[in-house]
Amino acid sequence: MPKPLTIELLQKEATRFAKAESKHAEPSLFGVTDGKAVGTYLEHKFQTALHGRYTYGRGNSAKGIDFPELGVDIKVTSIRQPQSSCPFKSARQKIYGLGYSLIVFVYEKRDEEKTRTCRLDIKHTIFVQKERTSDYQTTSGLRRLIENNANRDDILAFFEERYMPFEEPRAVRLAERVLRYPPVVGALGRRIQRPSCFDQVIECAGKVDGVLRLGIYSEV
């Protein structure tokens, strides 16, 4: 009899799935270089692994995230060809987070010519609590300004420097909110070496509260 899915069970299943998938030889992805196709494959396969064992509401394009009842979305990225798309839809999300948590699978794809299959070696499985799903560079910059007694105009100047355009009333309201409620330093963001919005997540995993390393199965 299926049981209700919880965040704790979801984390355990993500760890189990990553370990099993890293050993699996998949013929349908042999020669595939489209990261989006690989991501869709992993997301659907993970959902299939959960289906039948647990009861939960599955997400769709209208709901926007994979596990709407738990407030969790899946993100998949390659360690060699990182996903360049950014999950932020607004400047407010860059400062205060996406509003939901993330499970991030970071894989390395290896094609086997002899068997014409590929192996998705999942290097990192990371759970990012929603409080940490803001942008690292933006939030750390704002925190430094506030620690140096910044005022509203300083915050507005920061928005402009970071190319975060608003209509003036909205910008002023957000600047005042930042001063009243300083943001938590986020875990999403690019690093110079590799332009992925999940590079910072890998760096923070297991070292920062709210960014949990669920498993590593081989050396990078």
Give the pLDDT band (50/70/90) at residue 90: confident
| In the chain, domain spans | 3-85+100-134+187-215, 136-180
In whole angstroms, give the CA distance from residue 32 to residue 177: 46
The two beta strands, 72-78 and 3-4, are: unpaired
- Structure tokens, 48: 């299939």
- Structure tokens, 138: 């933006």
pLDDT in tens, 95-107: 999 999 999 999 9
Say if residues 3 and 55 touch (Cβ distance below 8 Å): yes
> Which among 18, 13, 8 is positioned nearest to 119, based on CA atoms?
18
pLDDT at 29 over 70: yes
Residue 192: is it exposed, middle or buried by C-beta count within 10 angstroms (0-12/13-18/19+)? exposed
> Which among 127, 97, 131, 130 is positioned nearest to 212, based on CA atoms?
127
Give the pLDDT band (50/70/90) at residue 219: very low
Cα 29 from chain centre? 23
- Structure tokens, 28: 């349908």
pLDDT at 69 over 90: yes
Q: Pick one of 3.40.210.20, 3.40.190.10, 3.40.50.300, 3.30.420.40 as the CATH number of 3-85+100-134+187-215.
A: 3.40.210.20
Give the pLDDT band (50/70/90) at residue 87: confident
Q: Over the range 91-109, which residues count as b (16 or more CB within 10 Å of their CB) and which as e?
A: bbbbbbbbebbbbbbbbbb
Say if residues 209 and 122 touch (Cβ distance below 8 Å): no
In whole angstroms, give the CA distance from residue 141 to residue 185: 9
Cα 136 from chain centre? 12
83-87, 92-96, 198-202, range with the lowest pLDDT: 83-87
In whole angstroms, give the CA distance from residue 95 to residue 135: 6
Neighbours of 111 (CB within 10 A): 14
pLDDT of residue 192: 44
pLDDT in tens, 142-196: 999 999 999 999 999 999 988 776 677 889 999 999 999 999 999 998 654 455 6
Residue in the block written with tokens 């990078």: 220
